[in-house]
């Protein structure tokens, strides 16, 4: 049995989720490693390590503290700890109280009906990180990520939005340094969530559409069949990620419905969140996995830092060739801080397989 210096067990319970995450600093040869295990409580846990090689104790402890902090920020609670638990000083980020509306995916076969139905509009599906931004009546800016946890609002985005007095809440996606707004949830008039999307969309454009900044834009919205068809063709030609369809007479609803919904997404390329299994530094690539299944190597572009072992990364691909296949033509998109390692499985990621 390895000598365990410190260990901790965290638990996450929300809705149908009941997950456990364990981490430990363990003696390994001349140094120390940080190992972890995660999965649904009561089931067999997936295992991994955050250290490629044994580290000095202080360095391993820093990795351990950072790991615990990232989990507490995502809503996990400390269930049990041992060893140096009294030295744990990381603080969980507060829940913002804001939750996004999450979209179910559709297939190409379902698109024609939505294009021809004038009750549905469409927008670009942006390839970034979800962010809800709130401005209070006294001018304070707050933001929440996909998990509803508080995150900082980039200063350049704040500067772009200062002209619009609060209170308000907008929903959108931040891509690089630019924020794209696509929904209005609150304004000085009141709560917009029960209003239909056409009203929310128009008031968003009226309130925020005149902002002139390279860091902010109201997402273009396209109506009617011929315009939607041309818009989607343009997105595909530009190799964009996909398109979102929204029903004009539908109110806003928190979370993701079990099926269907009043907002749907179509991805032109498939993408999935994977765990970094190994770092191949001599080739500037990483081996990624879903659950315990390796899914191939992904080259890291020069404009991205090489992620660490155990990180969750987003990878775009064309398809997987059969049950034993790897990601075909994978493209590295970046680290995902808003996705838990437990979600990186074949079942959860809804993998796109090559058509027979």
> What does pLDDT average to in each consecutive run of 10 residues of the chain (356 residues)?
85 79 92 92 88 90 87 77 48 71 91 96 92 94 89 93 95 94 96 97 97 96 96 88 95 91 92 94 91 94 93 92 89 92 90 78
> Residue 86: its pLDDT value, please?
37
d(CA 328, CA 331): 9
Fold agreement between 4-87 and 104-264: no
Q: Is the CA virtual torsion 202, 207, 212, 217 positive or negative?
A: negative
What pLDDT sits at residue 4?
Answer: 87
Q: Residue 82 in 3-state DSSP?
A: strand
Q: How far apart are the C-alpha atoms of 246 and 262, rounded to whole Å?
A: 6
pLDDT at 176: 86
Tokens of 348: 């959860």
Tell me which architecture the domain covering 104-264 has in CATH: 2-Layer Sandwich (3.30)
Task: Please name the helix (run of DSSP H) or strand (run of DSSP E) that holds residue 149, with its range, or none.
Answer: none
Give the pLDDT score at 12.
84
Task: Spell out the domain ranges in the chain.
Answer: 4-87, 104-264, 270-349
Quote the pTM value. Answer: 0.62
Which overall architecture, per CATH, does domain 4-87 show? Single Sheet (2.20)
Find the Cα–Cα–Cα–Cα dihedral 169, 349, 154, 216, rounded to 10°: -60
What kind of architecture, by CATH, is found in domain 270-349? Beta Barrel (2.40)
Q: Are 127 and 333 in contact (CB under 8 A)?
A: yes
pLDDT at 40: 87
Token couple for 92: 């969980």
């Amino acid at each position: 049995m390895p000598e365990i210096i410190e260990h901790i067990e965290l638990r996450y319970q929300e809705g149908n989720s009941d997950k456990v995450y364990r981490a430990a600093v363990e003696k390994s040869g001349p140094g120390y490693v940080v190992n972890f295990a995660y999965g649904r409580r009561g089931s067999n846990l997936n295992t991994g390590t955050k250290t490629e090689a044994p580290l000095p104790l202080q360095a391993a402890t820093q990795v351990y503290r950072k790991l615990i902090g990232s989990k507490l920020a995502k809503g996990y609670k400390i269930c049990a700890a041992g060893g140096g638990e009294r030295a744990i000083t990381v603080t969980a980020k507060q829940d913002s109280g804001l939750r996004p509306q999450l979209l179910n995916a559709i297939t190409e076969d379902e698109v024609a009906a939505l294009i021809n139905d004038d009750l549905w509009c469409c927008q670009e599906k942006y390839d970034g990180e979800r962010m809800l931004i709130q401005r209070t009546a006294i001018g304070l800016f707050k933001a929440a990520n996909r998990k509803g946890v508080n995150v900082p609002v980039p200063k350049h985005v704040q500067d772009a939005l200062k002209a619009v007095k609060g209170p308000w809440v907008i929903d959108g996606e931040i891509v690089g340094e630019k924020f794209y707004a696509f929904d209005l949830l609150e304004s000085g008039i009141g709560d917009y969530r029960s209003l239909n999307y056409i009203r929310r969309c128009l008031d968003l454009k009226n309130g925020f559409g005149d902002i002139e900044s390279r860091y902010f834009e109201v997402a273009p919205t396209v109506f009617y069949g011929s315009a939607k068809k041309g818009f989607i063709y343009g997105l595909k030609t530009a190799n964009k990620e996909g398109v979102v369809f929204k029903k004009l007479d539908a109110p806003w609803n928190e979370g993701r419905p079990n099926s269907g919904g009043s907002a749907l997404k179509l991805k032109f390329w498939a993408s999935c969140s994977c765990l970094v299994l190994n770092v191949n530094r001599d080739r500037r690539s990483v081996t990624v996995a879903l659950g315990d299944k390796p899914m191939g190597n992904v080259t890291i572009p020069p404009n991205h830092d090489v992620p660490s072992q155990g990180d969750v990364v987003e990878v775009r691909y064309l398809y997987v060739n059969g049950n034993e296949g790897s990601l075909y033509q994978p493209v590295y998109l970046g680290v995902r801080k808003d996705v838990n390692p437990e979600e990186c499985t074949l079942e959860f990621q809804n993998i796109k397989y090559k058509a027979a």
